[in-house]
Amino acid sequence: MRPTKAIVSTAAGIVGLAIALAGCSAATPGGASRSHGAAQVTITLTSGGSGDACMLDASTAAAGPVTFTIKNSSSTAITEVELLSDQRIIGEKENLAPGLKPTSLTLTLGGGTYQVYCPGAEKELQDFRVTGKAASTPGGSASALLTKGTQGYARYVAGVLSDMTTAVAALQKAVDSGDVDAAKAAYALARPFYEKVESDVDGFLLPGTGPTDNTGNLDYLIDMRASNLDPAVGWHGFHAVERDLWTTGITANTRAQAAELTANVTKLAALAKGLTYKPEDLANGAADLLDEVQANKITGEEELYSHLDIVDFAANVEGAQQAFAYLRPGLTKIDAGLTKQVAAQFDKVNAALDAYRDPGQAGGYKVYDAATRAADAGQLSRLVQSLQTPLSKIAEKVATA
């Protein structure tokens, strides 16, 4: 439910940063040691009697190059780690799993205080301080800051799409293995990526097809649901795989659908490469993602078979919050009061979602079954509406800045 990549020049590099920084509890309070010209920080993800933890062996580092070495020794509850700055995810790593070979990332950080978010850990949020020369403070006119924000958001979208191709390939591998439980877990990890950026990429068509032809509509081929099924085209994408995994089990059709999903997600990432945005695009996209929450997630329509709707809900909110966060420096100059109001409402929605976390479930959230919908749908809808109302005012303000 937070952002994605932007500290270094490549999305992949930033991703690793978040993980590395993600120590949700520091093994030692001191500063990082230095070796080979860079500060060295080791992060170990563990599971124990008191819960899962991100153990960071240093809580501070000097400004400049920092090498983070990350090892998941035993945690199954912690699947992602993020580094936040003023609600913006400047680095994250998802789909973490125990037993993988340790990985290292070297990044250059300016001085300042960052927030490390490690969902699923006993302590999920903590400060990570970088001492020395401070990172440059955003400056310039509102218009210039908004333009800079759209560029950062473009990098975020590119990073999400890159991660989605990796996660969907892992889903296909799990399906091909015939292990239903592994495939369900992989589905829950792959699913959120599309929900984070759907409003940015739902208009792409395969060459030679038109907007009314679902045979070439990548949004349909990737994200169709039972409620919008085109009988002439049939089942495709995530929910075709979902249906099989939670009903019939893995069949030849499931394997074919998973392979097709991998191919279509790869095509989408290629077509979306180099997307550019206007500030109002970010604001309108954020509003669209919250509309998705109201229309499909709170009703339980999205994940009809797996009931992983809260996983998708959280992803929609993250994508909307990232769009807002990249607009925030410029929007603050235009209307500081509105900016503060929207930020506070995002915090309330995120706090409500945290109450649904369940590390024992696929995707890390409670199953959104009929009983939960009956009990909670109304209050969740009202909470999202309290965010939608002020958020809807942003597009006009940034478009006329």
When pLDDT is averaged across residues 315-321 and rounded to a whole number, the result is 96
Q: Given a cut of 70, is residue 4 above it in pLDDT? A: no
Amino acid 398: pLDDT: 92
Measured from the Cβ of residue 396, the count of other Cβ atoms closer than 10 Å reads 11
Amino acid 30: pLDDT: 64
CA–CA dist 11, 150 (Å, integer) = 15
When pLDDT is averaged across residues 247-252 and rounded to a whole number, the result is 97
Q: Given a cut of 80, is residue 169 above it in pLDDT? A: yes
**What is the bridge-based pairing of β-strands 38-48 and 51-56?**
antiparallel
Confidence of residue 136 (pLDDT cuts 50, 70, 90): low
Closest C-alpha among 109, 128, 108, 106 to residue 117: 128
Q: Given a cut of 50, is residue 52 above it in pLDDT? A: yes
Confidence of residue 212 (pLDDT cuts 50, 70, 90): confident
Amino acid 210: pLDDT: 75
Distance of CA 56 to the CA centre of its chain: 22
Amino acid 156: pLDDT: 92
DSSP letter (8 states) at residue 135:
P
When pLDDT is averaged across residues 276-283 and rounded to a whole number, the result is 94
Confidence of residue 319 (pLDDT cuts 50, 70, 90): very high
Least confident segment among 43-57, 125-139, 180-194: 125-139
Supply 82's token pair.
């993020």
Confidence of residue 123 (pLDDT cuts 50, 70, 90): confident
CA–CA dist 54, 26 (Å, integer) = 8
Closest C-alpha among 184, 174, 54 to residue 126: 54
CA–CA dist 39, 113 (Å, integer) = 16
Q: Given a cut of 80, is residue 198 above it in pLDDT? A: yes
Q: Is the distance from CB of 183 to CB of 263 less than 8 angstroms?
A: no
Confidence of residue 176 (pLDDT cuts 50, 70, 90): very high
Supply 342's token pair.
């929207």
CA–CA dist 25, 32 (Å, integer) = 15
Instruction: Please name each of the domains of the chain with its CATH number.
Output: 11-137 (2.60.40.420), 146-399 (1.20.1420.20)
Higher pLDDT, 139 or 350: 350
Amino acid 164: pLDDT: 96
Confidence of residue 100 (pLDDT cuts 50, 70, 90): confident
Q: Given a cut of 50, is residue 316 above it in pLDDT? A: yes
Q: Is the distance from CB of 94 to CB of 363 less than 8 angstroms?
A: no
Q: Is the distance from CB of 24 to CB of 122 less than 8 angstroms?
A: yes
Confidence of residue 339 (pLDDT cuts 50, 70, 90): very high
When pLDDT is averaged across residues 369-381 and rounded to a whole number, the result is 97
